[in-house]
Amino acid sequence: MKLEGKTALITGASSGIGKEFAYLLSRKGMNLVLNARSKDKLEEIKKNIESRSRVRVDIVVDDLSTNSAPKRIFNIIQRRGINIDLLVNNAGFGYIGDFEKEDYDKNREMIMVNVLSMTSLSRLFIPQMIQRGEGGIINVASLAGMRPFPYAATYAATKSYVYSFSQALWEEYRKKGIIVSCLCPGLTKTNFGKVAGREEMFERGLDPKIVAEEALIGFLEKEPIVVPEAHKNFMIEYGSKFIPRKKILEMAGKVFRVKHK
């Protein structure tokens, strides 16, 4: 898939992996549509990118935790006459801790952003890609989506959905010129840890710039699943078929368990 001159929609583009995708794709000559809740942060990224390149950067401020956001974003882009060639479903957040202590509304918002909005945006933009005979989607999942994760039960379950959904679409649309790739990073230095309440855990994570770069390489190689090289050892150990299920759950629990005083 040729990137130069095409347009990418990036959700959750105000920080972390989404922000790095914006800078990376702009260097490849792609025009951008950036989505997040923070207008100020998006404006700053837009200004920085347009000052160093000739690409066009549009902004759509909206909250993907609301049910009507995907359709609003889609309609705005249509009114502006923009064709989306690459959809990067990056927006998402999580919670780490005891399930019964998780805020009820935040739990529902997590499912809305990580699952429902990601699915809806894919559904809205794929038909246009089919008409053009070309397009792509990068869905950001997580290594946590490959197995159940106690103390991050809802988050891991949402990313399991992304993991399964993306692979199914990869097979369904690859012969129609559409590449669907699922990025599965491990610990990454983003705001995720702060939002999830475990900021210290993510301080040793991978640079989000490296994650975005490896994701794009995997996407262009038409890989259905992309795991950053630095995280593959964890995937091999945690995904082993030779470790009993109870032991795997115990191992996972030790990763995210919140120690009580």
Active-site residues: which are they?
A: 155
Distance CA 6, CA 117 (A): 23
At 208 the three-state DSSP class reads: helix
Token digits for 203?
């301080």
Distance CA 182, CA 188 (A): 16
Q: Is residue 47 within 8 Å of 76, Cβ to Cβ?
A: no
Token digits for 202?
């993510």
Cβ neighbours of 27 (radius 10 Å): 13
Residues 6 or more apart whose CB falls under 8 angstroms from that of 237 comprise: none
